[in-house]
């Protein structure tokens, strides 16, 4: 297993490198100057702007600039936010836990809904339950997160007045009361994101389980007298989860798409809403850094998926160990 982990880690390095190359190419191709904001600011004299340009080496050849950018990203020196007047990495580290909390909770919610529903649907295909579940899954992944979010606000905040629709990081309470308030305001963003995830996950699970249920070894398991419950739980699900994990890994970039929108709707102070406000205020270093953080998260989550994969299907981790 450790060797397998090491091998997967090794594969993700070129991916990160490729992503950095794509990001930098986009930035290099972009017209205008990332420091335009500074240069056009009348409070900054021309020679200071020139000095800054020299300090940041904006007039050097592209390859040199790329190399310097990569090195400084690796060293954790991510630049300085023009708007907030703090270092970009401090800004992002402040916001990241909130984002990860929302994304993590919604993933858990999605899995908790999708696995039982998908498995039960596949065990009784074309039953009433399956048809209802399939219909809801179709509706679920056709409803864009921004619309679900607005409907949730309309129903639960405005009509029933049960839940707050603005996410606050400064709750004026302590102890249990604080935890309760924090949980209460997380419900809607987590539900919006989680239900969207659950919809496609249910479909994946259903078709994966459906493929496995028909195999001969499942009949063997039944024939040797195992109960239906044990057959499904021990023999079917574990094998069916292998393709599900692959598909979930492919879905990860989509999760972040949903997360950005959800954060924006509920004003969750995470990196997604920071990205939007940075774009609206032309804060290039922040925009670049957040895009890179999202890419990094995709790679990390893919690594987690790989590990799960190796655990579910030991053949995979042994294959490379030879």
Partner 1 sequence: MANISVTATLPLGARRAGDSLWQEAWRRFRRHRLAMLGACVLLFMVVAVLSGPLAYRVPIDEIDFRAKLETPSWAHPLGTDDLGQDLLARMLYGGRISLAVGVAAMLIAIVIGTAIGAISGHLGGPMDHALMRITDLFLSLPQLPLLLLIIYLFRDVLKDVFGPEIGVFVLIVAVIGGLRWMPVARLVRAQFLSLREKEFVEAARSLGAPTMRQIVRHILPNTFGPVIVAGTIDVAAAIIAESSLSFLGLGFPPDIPTWGRILFDAKDNLDFAPHWALFPGAAIFLTVLSINYIGDGLRDALDPRKVLGQS
Residue 161 φ/ψ region, left for φ over 0, alpha for ψ in the -120 to 50 degree band, beta for the rest: left
Binding of residue 166 to partner 1 (CB under 8 A): no
Binding of residue 67 to partner 1 (CB under 8 A): no
Q: Which stretch binds partner 1 (CB under 8 A): 43-51, 78-86, 119-127, 272-280?
A: 272-280
Distance between CA 58 and CA 238 in Å, rounded?
54
What one-character DSSP code corresponds to residue 224? Answer: T
Q: Which of 125, 164, 243, 253 binds partner 1 (CB under 8 A)?
A: 253
Q: Which of 5, 96, 100, 143 binds partner 1 (CB under 8 A)?
A: 143
Binding of residue 257 to partner 1 (CB under 8 A): yes
Q: Alpha-carbon dihedral of residues 14, 15, 20, 26, nearest 10 degrees?
A: 120
Give the nearest distance from C-beta 14 to partner 1 in angstroms: 8
Binding of residue 297 to partner 1 (CB under 8 A): yes
Coil, strand, or helix at residue 41? Answer: coil
Burial of residue 262 (number of CB atoms within 10 Å: 0-12, 13-18, 19+): buried
Question: Are 5 and 307 in contact, with CB atoms under 8 Å apart?
Answer: yes
Give the nearest distance from C-beta 97 to partner 1 in angstroms: 18
User: Which residues are registered as beta bridge partners of 80?
Assistant: 87
Describe the chain by its helix, strand, coil percentages, rounded to 5.
80, 0, 20
Q: Which is nearer to partner 1, 81 or 302 (CB)?
A: 302
Binding of residue 62 to partner 1 (CB under 8 A): no
Q: How many residues belong to the site for partner 1 (CB under 8 A)?
A: 49
The distance from CA 127 to its chain's CA centroid, rounded to whole angstroms, is: 34
Give the nearest distance from C-beta 179 to partner 1 in angstroms: 28
Binding of residue 91 to partner 1 (CB under 8 A): no
User: Which residues are registered as beta bridge partners of 87?
Assistant: 80
Q: Which of 138, 162, 180, 318 binds partner 1 (CB under 8 A)?
A: 138
**Binding residues vs partner 1 (CB under 8 A):** 14-15, 18-19, 22-23, 26-27, 30-32, 138-139, 141-147, 150-151, 153-154, 158, 250, 252-254, 256-257, 260-261, 264-265, 275-276, 279-280, 287-288, 290-291, 294-295, 297-299, 302
């Amino acid at each position: 297993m450790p060797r397998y982990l090491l091998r997967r880690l090794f594969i993700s390095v070129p991916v990160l490198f490729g992503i950095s190359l794509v990001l930098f190419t986009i930035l290099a191709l972009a017209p205008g100057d990332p420091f335009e904001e500074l240069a056009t600011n009348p409070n900054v004299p021309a020679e200071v702007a020139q000095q800054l340009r020299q300090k940041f080496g904006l007039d050097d050849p592209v390859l040199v600039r790329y190399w310097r950018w990569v090195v400084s990203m690796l060293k954790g020196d991510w630049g300085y936010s023009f708007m907030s007047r703090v270092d970009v990495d401090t800004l992002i580290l402040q916001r990241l836990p909130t984002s990860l909390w929302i994304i993590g909770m919604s993933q858990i919610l999605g899995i908790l809904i999708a696995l039982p529903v998908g498995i039960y649907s596949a065990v009784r295909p074309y039953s009433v339950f399956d048809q209802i579940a399939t219909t809801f899954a179709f509706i679920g992944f056709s409803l864009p997160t921004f619309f679900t979010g607005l409907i949730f606000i309309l129903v639960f905040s405005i009509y029933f007045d049960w839940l707050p629709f603005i996410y606050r990081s400064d709750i004026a309470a302590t102890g249990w009361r604080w935890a309760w308030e924090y949980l209460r305001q997380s419900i809607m963003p987590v539900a919006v994101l989680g239900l969207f995830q659950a919809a496609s996950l249910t479909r994946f699970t259903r078709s994966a389980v459906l493929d496995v249920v028909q195999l001969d070894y499942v009949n063997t398991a039944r024939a040797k007298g195992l109960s239906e419950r044990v057959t499904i739980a021990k023999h079917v699900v574990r094998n069916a989860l292998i393709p599900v994990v692959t598909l979930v890994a492919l879905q990860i970039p989509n999760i972040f798409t949903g997360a950005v929108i959800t954060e924006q709707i509920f004003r969750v102070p995470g990196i997604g809403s920071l990205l939007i406000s940075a774009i609206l205020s032309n804060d290039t270093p922040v925009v670049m850094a957040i895009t890179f953080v999202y890419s990094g998260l995709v790679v990390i989550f893919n690594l987690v998926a790989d590990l799960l994969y190796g655990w579910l299907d030991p053949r995979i981790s042994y294959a490379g160990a030879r």
